[in-house]
Structure 1
Amino acid sequence: MRMNQNTLLLGKKVVLVPYTSAHVPRYHEWMKSEELQRLTASEPLTLEQEYAMQHSWREDADKKWRAQLGTTEESCMVGDVNLFLTDPEDPALGEIEVMIAEPSCRGRGFGTEAVLMMMSYGVTKLGLTKFEAKIGQGNEPSIRMFQKLHFEQVAVSSIFQEVTLRLTMSKPEWQWLLAQTSHVEEKLYRDGSVEPH
């Protein structure tokens, strides 16, 4: 994540900023929710473990970007979006995840814009051409959102109770993605503040 540790992406509805140690306490509070644990297939961690995970995201080369997702109108953090490499044999494949932690912010298009922004960043800055999303079988809203973004189901794991959706960036898909994210601005982010880019 070092290459984008100072990158801020500003969309119409959301702003993506790097996941820093300042975000850990809020994230830790979110993840106490049994509903979020179920939807994200996560186990509860101690605050110290969350800080260690944040440090891991910042230092590991295979974890390309974990961004906190905030709304542009309210300037508050509402979730996160992650992009990481899962297949050393295929460096053009990125796994993408999104979580809208604040219940009042779900169903408002924040997750959709965040995923589009992260995918565009992955294509233009990281050379990714394929994306996968692994979603719990019971998480219908998330499955529907990814399907609206042209992802297709490629696998179902009864053991992990999850569906794998995939999108390969053909030329028409790439043009569609760039059109969807043409409004996004990249800015410099340092220590919680935005600087002109």
Structure 2
Amino acid sequence: MIGDINLFLEPDLTERMEPDLPSAPYPPHYVTGEVAIMIASPSHRGRGYGRAALELFMAYIKTNIDDIFEEYAKDLTDPPTQGNPANPPSQSNTQGSVHQPGEPNGVAPSPVELSYFRARIKHDNIASIRLFESFGFRRVGEVNYFREVELRRNLEWMGDREMDGFETAYV
């Protein structure tokens, strides 16, 4: 194994509602997607494996985002109470929406939406910082307690020129 790459989805705890607008009956579940990549052996670093892995992984996410959200949404609802028909299991659909029991036909959509991608990188790992910056990630804030910088990428990546054609040809 040369290394690994992961996507960690977690709730986005920042305020997402407009103060002057009424709340939607089923507001979206906003999440952030932390992308983490690790090339284990120093002898494998600097040889393009990280770039190739990140490019393929972002194409995979782009192609499979609905399935990824559907899997994530399975954990958003409370498990059914044993033997209580008033609390049936919740279900999710293929658009990444969470359905709550007790609504007409037993479902009420509440979509999962990605706020942004994030990468946390040691402040002195210049090669990794440059790699993520080449994919449109931008540094936010200062070096944190763990001596990491945070880089974020908004969702306009869905139409990036470097991604266009790549998923058609390789994914």
What TM-score does the superposition give when structure 2 sets the normalisation length? 0.55
> 1:170 Cα shift?
1.4
Residue 115 (structure 1) shift: 1.2
Which residue in 2 is equivalent to 1:80? 4
Shift of 1:126: 2.0
Aligned partners of 1:134 and 1:163 also within 8 Å:
yes
The alpha carbon displacement at 1:174 in A equals: 4.0
**Cα distance in structure 2, aligned partners of 1:167 and 1:88:** 14
- Inter-partner Cα distance in structure 2 for 1:183 and 1:129: 28
Q: State the Cα distance separating 1:159 from its structure 2 match.
A: 1.3
Distance 1:124 1:93, change over 3 A: farther
1:109 to 1:171, Cα distance in 2 relative to 1, 3 A = closer
Quick one: which amino acid aligns to residue 105 of structure 1?
H
- The alignment-based identity, stated in percent, is 36
- Give the C-alpha shift of residue 129 in structure 1: 6.4
| Residue 145 of structure 1 pairs with residue 131 of structure 2 | yes
For residues 2 and 125 of structure 2, what CA distance do their matches in structure 1 show?
18
**1:123 Cα deviation after fit:** 2.4
Query: Compared with structure 1, are the counterparts of its residues 125 and 91 closer, same or farther at alpha carbon in structure 2 (3 Å cutoff)?
Result: farther
Deviation digits for residues 85-134 of structure 1, max 9, x if unmatched? 12255645310010111222211111111112222222221255631101
Native 8 Å contact 2:3 2:40 kept in 1: yes
How far is the alpha carbon of 1:172 from its aligned partner?
6.8
Equivalent residue for 1:117? 56
Query: Gaps (5+ residues) in structure 2?
Result: 14-28, 67-113
Query: 1:70: which partner in 2?
Result: none
Structure 1 runs not aligned, ≥5 long: 1-76, 186-197
Residue 173 of structure 1, CA deviation:
4.0
Higher Cα Rg, which structure: 2
Report the equivalent of 1:176. 162
How far does the alpha carbon of each residue in 1:8-47 deviate from its partner, in whole angstroms, 9 at most, with x for none?
xxxxxxxxxxxxxxxxxxxxxxxxxxxxxxxxxxxxxxxx
Instruction: Give the RMSD, CA atoms, in angstroms.
Output: 2.4
Instruction: Give the distance between the partners of 1:171 and 1:104, measured in 2 at CA.
Output: 31
1:48-127 pair list within 5 angstroms: 77-89=1-13, 91-127=30-66
The residue that corresponds to 1:49 in the other structure is none
Letter in 1 for 2:146: F
